[in-house]
Amino acid sequence: MSKGRASKTAYIGARLLDPATGLDETGDILTEDERIIGIGPNLFGGSPPSDAIVIDSNGLCASPGLIDMRVQIREPGEEHKESLRSAAEAAVAGGVTSMVCLPNTEPVLDDEATLEFVARRARLQALTKVYAYGAATKGLAGKELAEYGLLADAGAVGFTDGTVAISNSQVMRRVLSYAATFDLLVIQHPEDPALAGTGVMNSGETATRLGLSGIPLEAEIIMLERDIRLVEMTGGRYHAAHISTAESVKIIASAKSRGLRVTCDTAPFYSALNELSVGDYRTFAKLSPPLRSEEDRQAIVEGLKTGVIDVIASDHSPQDQDSKRLPFAQAAFGGSGLETLLAVSLDLVHNEQLTLLEVLSKLTCVPADLLGLDAGRLREGAPADLLFFDPDIGWKVIGDKFRSKSKNTPFDGRPVQGKVMRTVIDGRTVFKASPHANSA
């Protein structure tokens, strides 16, 4: 784009959806360079500006681009599983315009230099916006606290030890207290590692039948209950990642009712699937936390309906084929989630469990507010990060066609409904769907 001349684009005839304000009506959007400069019904009076590129949206839904607050990128260190480039390509194909990566790279994101390296590399891709969490403890070892103030100044939007829980209660107390002095968010993977042990799937009848060691519900529940007590002690800001059990929903609801600064997310894996997806040792369904019972899945949906669960995140955990094509007990945990985030979340709309605006709020404005990002809204002056989608187009998930290097998805072969047609970042179209594609 030329720096000397403004570039305007008029998107006409879209169904405008802004969950932050409840906007849901047919209208137009005008962008100039990187910002939205006009939005609303009959914005142009039938005549778009003569100096604008005109794109007819043909009734597609237009919403803020999705904000995915839980992504493992694998770069630096494990680029054979995923790179910033492949993750960004997968993200924009999934309608994600901002994603936040976990610090469990090699080296760990526990100093300013590594954090700035990721930010610099992400900018070179010129695709989705990439933010990062800083490590809560140095080396993710759960012992010595990282330098939160310096990392926050370098761009860290929160602090977490990623896929491992901070299991030492005294360390977690210090993490919450230290973060609270800067009003920073602490994100926990709530699973007691001693109780989870060497388990590989949800404890219960299915695990017993398959002869696999189980991870009890209590591993998540006990860690959550302990953390809530520590939040009460410290006044810290706490976010529980990918909750998966009925009891977890109750614990979070109780904490919120007491006025504690507690939030949580879940992933589409836990609202759409249960432990039966493991089937005959399907390693693509080996996730952390594990897929739970049907009763737990229904409770997660209910938690989304009532608003106890604030955010839906992809929990994108890419693995290479060598890590997944192993006996179930030896296979790595994790599933690819960026390219199915919208479509599987829309199941909640098609099943009449949530409205379209309610689902979009958990994917846009709510994570933006939690993380303090200038994103997630359709309004004048906002970044022109836009998603155009058709909620009714059906297609089949085929992992081998993913843009991600990781083809392991527990949704492989699943029919879904809702397709990303165009993704716009800072006013530039970075993804446009093929009109005839019916799988991905």
Contact 382, 31 (CB under 8 A): no
Residue 274 DSSP one-character state: -
Q: Which two three-digit tokens encode residue 136?
A: 């809560």
Q: Which residue reads 């993977």 in tokens?
A: 189
For the four alpha carbons of 19, 179, 105 and 227, in that order, the dihedral sign comes to negative
Q: Residue 211: CB partners within 8 Å, gap ≥ 6?
A: none
Contact 399, 387 (CB under 8 A): no
Among 161, 315, 347, 369, which one carries the catalytic annotation?
315
Q: Which two three-digit tokens encode residue 405?
A: 């290097």
Distance (Å) of CA 69 to CA 27, 59, 101, 420: 29, 29, 7, 19
3-state secondary structure of 15: strand
64 phi/psi in degrees, rounded to 5? -60, 150
Is 315 one of the annotated active-site residues of the chain? yes
Nearest to 16 by CA among 30, 5, 32: 30
Beta-sheet strand order (sheet of 311-312) = 66-71, 96-101, 129-135, 156-160, 185-188, 237-240, 262-266, 311-312
Helix ranges (H only) for 15-131 are 84-93, 112-125
Q: What residues are labeled active site? A: 315
